[in-house]
Amino acid sequence: MRKITEDAKGDARRVCRYLCFAMPSRTPASSPGAKDTQRLAQIGLVVNALLTVLKLVAGILGNAYALVADAIESGTDMFGSLVVWSGLRIASRDPDDRYPFGYGRAEPIAAATVGAIMLGAAIAIAIAAVREIRIPHHAPAPFTLAVLAVVIVVKEVLAKRVLKASVESGSVVVHADAWHHRADAITSGAAFIGISIALIGGPGWEPADDWAALVAACIICINGGLLLRTAARDLMDRAPASPLLDAVSEAARGTSGVLAIEKLKIRKSGTQHYVDLHVQADPMLSLQDAHVLSGRVKSAIRARVPSAVGVLIHMEPFEPEPKR
């Protein structure tokens, strides 16, 4: 009876050691990087609000429809930054019983919303630009060029900073926000060129301002479509790029006791990844040894790919290919 009790205790200790070694520690979604991206979204929200007011007032007083159209685009930027911030806040929540895989999908949903907002703004600007082209009007005021120059510099600096953060975090919604800022810089550049042509060309060249707004609308439409496509890919669990697949594959193959791997699947949720992998090992391994080996494979993958917060290993007997 004592021997049975001691064996049970020994099994319990082994299981405890295995759990401490093999079970991946959950990486909190609310990491310092997530806080930095949320702060950038807040900064973008404030900047867009200020630029929207500045461009709208200057466009109305300066008779520059390209600048008014640019103000409308900045207004969508402002709403887009609010969507991005909300998406990042939701995605930063830790998994719970209701959402065991976490809230990472809030990021591509927010990115898709931003893309849809950009498409809507592009259509509205294009319709208004065509209407203005058909109606004779005065040339824009020269001071509108100074306003646009300031806007271009501010938005490009903000775009570069947010784009860098998106590369570091791997967040699709932060990437969307970066291109939203850059689209604003591009549309402001188009407005600058159009107003310059209208001022230099003199009488008869006034519609150049409106043509610039139309070009800006096309640029916004293209960027919005690209953002929607990227977000849709994440929502539909498209396979990640080859380097990530190769890293997981190499980590698994490099684990002692692994004879082959197959059926590697990875899906993305926000900035995190979930791995599903079939591992082949010696058919004579005991269930306990196979269990321990799967734990070592999990640890190897997580050490190689820190974003892999969930790793599911299916153990299978190794079956060599028949010789021809």
Kindly state the average pLDDT of the residues 39-60: 81
Strands 308-317 and 272-281 turn out to be parallel
Kindly state the average pLDDT of the residues 132-160: 83
Across all residues in the chain, what is the average pLDDT? 78
What pLDDT is stored for residue 239 in this prediction? 81
Q: Which residue has the higher pLDDT, 78 or 250?
A: 250
167-208 tens-digit pLDDT? 777 676 777 777 777 777 877 888 888 888 888 887 778 788
What pLDDT is stored for residue 92 in this prediction? 78
Q: Which residues contact 292 (CB under 8 A, 6 or more apart)?
A: 18, 22
Does the pLDDT of residue 48 top 90, yes or no? no
Type of residue numbered 46:
V
What pLDDT is stored for residue 119 in this prediction? 87
10-30 tens-digit pLDDT? 444 443 333 333 333 343 444
Between CA 24 and CA 141 the distance in angstroms is 63
How far is CA 6 from each of CA 1, 119, 237, 298, rounded to the nearest angstrom? 9, 69, 48, 30
pLDDT band at 34 (very low <50, low <70, confident <90, very high): low
List the beta bridge partners of residue 103.
none
Q: Which residue has the higher pLDDT, 281 or 227?
A: 281
Count of beta carbons in the 10 Å neighbourhood of residue 50: 12
Superfamily of domain 240-317 in CATH is Cation efflux protein, cytoplasmic domain (3.30.70.1350)
Q: Smallest Cα–Cα separation from 308: which of 219, 258, 227, 248? A: 248
Phi then psi for residue 278, to 5 deg, are -100, 125
Q: Sign of dihedral through CA atoms 278, 282, 283, 287?
A: negative
The ranges assigned to domains in the chain are 32-235, 240-317
Between CA 148 and CA 151 the distance in angstroms is 5
Count of beta carbons in the 10 Å neighbourhood of residue 34: 20
DSSP string, 101-149: T-STTHHHHHHHHHHHHHHHHHHHHHHHHHHHHHS--PPPPTHHHHHHH
Kindly state the average pLDDT of the residues 262-271: 85
What pLDDT is stored for residue 35 in this prediction? 66
CATH class of domain segment(s) 32-235: mainly alpha
